[in-house]
Amino acid sequence: MIKGFLLFFILLLMFSSGVSAIGISPSRIEIDFVPNLEYPVEFAIYNSVNYSYPALVTVTGELAEFTDFEEQYVVLEPNGMAQFSYTLSLPREMEHPGNFSLQMSALQASMDDRASGVLGARVGVRSNLIVIVPFDGPYMDAELSIPNSEVGSQVPITISMRNLGTTDLPTINGEITFFGFDGEEIDSMSFDDSLELKQDKSITLYWDSSEMSGGVYTAELVGNYGDQSFESGTEFRLGSFFVDILEYQDEVKVGEINDYYTTLMSTWNSPIQDAFVELDVTYGRDVITSKSESFDLFGWQNDTVKMYFDATGIEKGKYPAKLTVFYGNGSNSVDFDLNVKSFFLSTQMIIYGSVIAGFVIVIAVLIIFMMRRRKIKRGKKK
């Protein structure tokens, strides 16, 4: 009955979720510490889109050493799911009281990543298992969480607090400090609260991001309750509907059809579909245009796009060029000079270098041979 309800719940999430292509269930499990406990866990990852992709499932966290789970690489079928299980074997005692965690993570990759043997994780989801070890006296745990949000929005800041001790906590003071991508402090906010015995509480504050730009930010929470302290930190992104051009080629070979590569990064929190890249090169009165196939960019994904540039009818020289990426109703471009050149000189230098290196090796071998021969003759004279 319970397994059937869990399966129904997972399937419901699969068909209703439009935020991420990959999901995991359950997302959080909490248990109290029991010495030598053997705790079985079942979880599932699911694909909410109509195409398949590989996913890497890993285990991390303080309790990872107490599980029998091994890293697994699976392919999720369109709108499909994969089920897993493991057993948590707790020790006789823990090092200290508090919360101990274990994370089962599923990282979405691409089929190209799997074929190359290199995982380029694009979207990740995580299931947390928390083991609660009680503390004799005042003790609390706090966790700071901030979701990826849009630039200019009121970003929700959630502080989750839990009284894990045996006394009330009437006075709690905390401060959250925000840091930019360069590590510089950019803002801060404070709060006061309290916790009753065994109470769990989450409070939400709002941070105004209207003066910020898109990028990766960090936040640190530091606080105290009486003479005890607590801290927590997290990373989050402020997204804008923008695709940045990170790298592009400014040289091609004359007289042939060139592979042309461009590296892009999406700074949007959701997938951007049907983007494409266009290269326009001015050659005299003509404009030579090359265009890539359309592609999708996942949120905060770096991707290298390949297209072709035909330089068979172009003479050597530098020509005005414009590279543009089109996405949704937006675009981004960069102007530069494309150098159409012959790479013969570089090849020739490589050949000359190889000949010289070979000559040096031959001379070295001859010197070693002559030195050994002299030693042999000296030995015979003695």
> From first to last of its 382 residues, what are the pLDDT tens digits of the chain?
444 434 434 444 443 333 458 899 999 999 988 999 999 999 999 998 888 889 999 999 999 999 999 999 899 999 999 999 999 999 999 888 878 999 999 998 765 554 444 444 466 889 999 998 888 889 898 999 999 999 999 999 999 998 988 899 999 999 999 999 888 999 999 999 999 988 999 999 999 999 998 889 999 999 999 999 999 999 999 998 999 999 999 999 999 999 999 999 999 988 999 999 999 999 999 999 999 999 999 988 899 999 999 999 899 999 999 999 999 999 999 999 999 999 754 444 555 566 677 767 878 777 776 777 666 655 555 5
Nearest Cα to 137, choosing from 164, 111, 108? 164
Task: Output the pLDDT for position 4.
Answer: 45
Distance CA 291, CA 307 (A): 7
Task: Please list the residues that pair with 199 across neighbouring strands.
Answer: none
Distance CA 92, CA 16 (A): 43
Task: Output the pLDDT for position 175.
Answer: 97
Task: Output the pLDDT for position 121.
Answer: 47
The backbone torsions φ and ψ at residue 113, rounded to the nearest 5 degrees and listed phi first, read -60, -40
Distance CA 244, CA 263 (A): 9
Write the single-letter amino acid at 112. Answer: D
Q: Are 256 and 311 in contact (CB under 8 A)?
A: yes
Task: Output the pLDDT for position 18.
Answer: 39
- Residues 6 or more apart from 108 whose CB is under 8 A from it? 21, 22, 53, 55, 121, 122, 123, 124, 298
Residue 331, Cα to own-chain centre: how many angstroms?
24
Q: Are 298 and 273 in contact (CB under 8 A)?
A: no
**Exposure on the CB side of residue 84, measured as CA atoms within 13 A:** 26
Residue 340, Cα to own-chain centre: how many angstroms?
36
3-state secondary structure of 149: strand
Task: Output the pLDDT for position 376.
Answer: 60
Q: How far is CA 190 from CA 209, 224, 234, 237, in A?
A: 17, 12, 16, 21
Task: Output the pLDDT for position 365.
Answer: 73
For 273-278, the CB contacts below 8 A with 24+ separation are 274/327, 275/243, 275/325, 275/326, 275/327, 275/328, 276/325, 276/326, 277/305, 277/307, 277/323, 277/324, 277/325, 277/326, 278/323, 278/324, 278/325, 278/326
Tokens for 58, please give them.
């890993």
Task: Output the pLDDT for position 66.
Answer: 96
Task: Output the pLDDT for position 353.
Answer: 64
Task: Please list the residues that pair with 337 across neighbouring strands.
Answer: 320
Distance CA 129, CA 114 (A): 28
